[in-house]
Amino acid sequence: MIPATFDYTRPASVDDAVRALSDAGEDAKLLAGGQSLMPLLRLRLAFPDALIDLGRVDALREIRDEGDTLLVGAMATHHQVIRDPLVRAHLPLLARAAETVADPAVRHRGTFGGSLVHADPAGDLPAVALALDAVFLVRSVRGEREIRASEFFVDWMTSAMEPDELLVGVRMPKLGSGWGVHYEKFHRTAQAWAIVGVACAVRRDGDVVEDARVALTNMGPVPVRAGGVENAVRGRPVSEGTFRSAAEHATEGTEPPSDLHGSAEYRSHLATVLTARALTACTA
Amino acid sequence: MPRVRVEVDGATYEDDVEPRLLLVHYLRERLGKVGTPVGCDTSNCGACTVLLDGMSVKSCSVLTVQADGCDVTTIEGLGSPGGQSPPATGRSVPAGSHPLQRAFHEEHALQCGYCTPGMIMASLDLLRENPDPSEEEVRAGLEGNLCRCTGYQNIVRAVRRAAREMRELAERVVTP
Ligand SMILES: Cc1cc2nc3c(=O)[nH]c(=O)nc-3n(C[C@H](O)[C@H](O)[C@H](O)COP(=O)(O)OP(=O)(O)OC[C@H]3O[C@@H](n4cnc5c(N)ncnc54)[C@H](O)[C@@H]3O)c2cc1C
Ligand code: FES
Ligand code: FES
């Protein structure tokens, strides 16, 4: 189908974009890569009055080294993130997970920021942001604020951002040395959304697990940090037994959906199996 | 109405377009480039794949206004019509066809042909990044393109055959 009509603006700076968003009112939408928004417009599930295209705001594409943290611009594409030397060196989990998103053509346009703001429970990158203790930098004409990942994802496809706010970028602490990372994504056809996904990072000190980060995709309306699993592996020997028994905690605090891809019970089973696999892969 | 300037298959066009006009509709309905088909409403099938500034995109997920100032290559821009190409063993491949077009023909990589323009453009993107892909890499590179007919086997074979030929051609060019 053809999208409904809308006004179109293409600001060249963050300031102009934020002003345009404020001026256009509640029925305006920012357009990033369009890989979620365009299908919604075509199906007329969304019909904003105005689209503000961020495609020419080059400052939003930057990936910057800030010392202990990396700042990934909201408009950095999946393609860019996967190949970025800073991301590969300091946040390899993000590069790994971004490789599993969609297909090459979608990754050429789809952006890190768009994936996060869209807050699809089956999206792969929200769980990664949660596992990496990301901080979201948000701007509006009213000023700037920071939102922690643990507070950013509020409900099904809903973030903590206000309609007049723009995501500028996401700050994530560098992982440092000694970490192994893995994103375990379960889906049944070549290019598909996760039925369940596990974002995982494990730091080992010899044969002992020193620290771990685990977060789950599509095990509820928002990504879930699996604190129970993390606690159950810390200080334990690196072994299949450790990982198997820790993975039993994976379903704690989850509210898995039932849909045509799988029942809630099936998803809970998957979460346990995939968490054990992810922990193992991180230490292999 | 916003005015756009785009280069499509080597020619420059300037047009007033509605902001909601999808790039694929602009190509087909305004420029008559019907070589690029539309297969879905959800950006899933990949039939509409073109190159935008050299990189594959699904042209049903791009607004024409977003392509303003950009370079677009469609299936109709491949090969050099009327140009020279090694004689194909099959009959109906036009002279000057691109190695991918020839290989798809030779390897029977299409049946109804609906997915073929997108498959070829996605393959071109893949070969730009990886001139010698394994079977698995071809499958991963084409994961965003659906074919309801062939079962993919012959498509994978065709892409690898074209890759070989394109590597040989490239060598011939650099070593006079
Ligand atoms: C065929 C297909 C398969 C896919 N498979 C996967 C998959 O397996 N895993 C996965 O994670 N994703 C998948 N995606 C989605 C893809 O990752 C998109 O890139 C992503 O969801 C949205 O990013 P975008 O840049 O395209 O955002 P857009 O579609 O442009 O925008 C999405 C939403 O975010 C808002 N927004 C965007 N940027 C900002 C900003 N800076 N500030 C405030 N609001 C903003 C927009 O207003 C809009 O509401 C798939 C998409 C397609 C078409
Ligand atoms: S028509 Fe564009 S992806 Fe299907
Ligand atoms: S040949 Fe018919 S869809 Fe591919």
Q: Which residue has the higher pLDDT, B88 or A12?
A: A12
Residue B35: which CATH number?
3.10.20.30
Tokens of A16: 């102009």
Residue A243: which CATH number?
3.30.390.50
How many domains is chain B partitioned into structurally? 2
Question: Which residue in chain A is spatially nearest to B69 when comparing CA positions?
Answer: A56
The residue whose CB lies within 8 Å of the most ligand 2 atoms, and thus the one to mutate among B36, B38, B63, B142, is B38
The residue whose CB lies within 8 Å of the most ligand 2 atoms, and thus the one to mutate among B27, B36, B48, is B48
Element (H, E) at A280: helix A264-283
Question: Which parts of chain A have pLDDT scores under 50?
Answer: none
Tokens of B66: 């977003």
pLDDT digits (tens, 9 = 90+) for A82-112: 999 999 999 999 999 999 999 999 999 999 9
CA–CA separation, A123 vs B80, rounded Å? 42
Tokens of A235: 């200080």
CA–CA separation, B13 vs B46, rounded Å? 25
* Confidence (pLDDT) at A190: 81
Above 70 in pLDDT, residue B87? no
* Confidence (pLDDT) at B82: 58
**Residue B88 in domain:** no
CB contact under 8 A, A109 and B19: no
* Confidence (pLDDT) at B94: 79
Chain B residues touching residue A3 (CB < 8 angstroms): 20, 22
pLDDT digits (tens, 9 = 90+) for B89-123: 555 677 889 999 999 999 999 999 999 999 999 99
- pLDDT bin (cut points 50, 70, 90) of residue B134 is very high
Element (H, E) at A96: helix A92-99
Residue A155: which CATH number?
3.30.465.10
Specify whether B169 is located in the same domain as B103: yes
Tokens of A83: 């190949």
**Residue A4 in domain:** no
B115 lines ligand 3 (CB under 6 A): yes
Residue having the nearest C-alpha atom to atom 51 of ligand 1: A35
* Confidence (pLDDT) at B80: 77
How many domains is chain A partitioned into structurally? 2
**Residue B93 in domain:** no
> How far does A176 lie from chain B, in Å, by closest CA?
30
**Residue A219 in domain:** yes
- Residue in the block written with tokens 């199996």: A273
**CA A49 from chain center: how many Å?**
27
**CA B44 from chain center: how many Å?**
16
Specify whether A142 is located in the same domain as A212: no
* Confidence (pLDDT) at A175: 95
Among A151, A173, A195, the domain-final residue is A173
- Residue in the block written with tokens 């990158």: A125
- Residue in the block written with tokens 């792969």: A124
pTM for this prediction = 0.96
ipTM: 0.94
Alpha helices in B49-152 (DSSP H): 99-106, 116-129, 135-141
Specify whether B110 is located in the same domain as B161: yes
* Domain ranges, residue B20: 3-77
CA–CA separation, A74 vs A80, rounded Å? 12
Chain A residues touching residue B122 (CB < 8 angstroms): 104-105
* Confidence (pLDDT) at A1: 84
* Domain ranges, residue A90: 61-173
Give the DSSP letter of residue B61.
Answer: G
Strands A69-73 and A50-53: unpaired
**Residue A133 in domain:** yes
Q: How many helices (H) and strands (E) does chain B have?
A: 5, 5
Specify whether B61 is located in the same domain as B117: no
**Residue A263 in domain:** yes
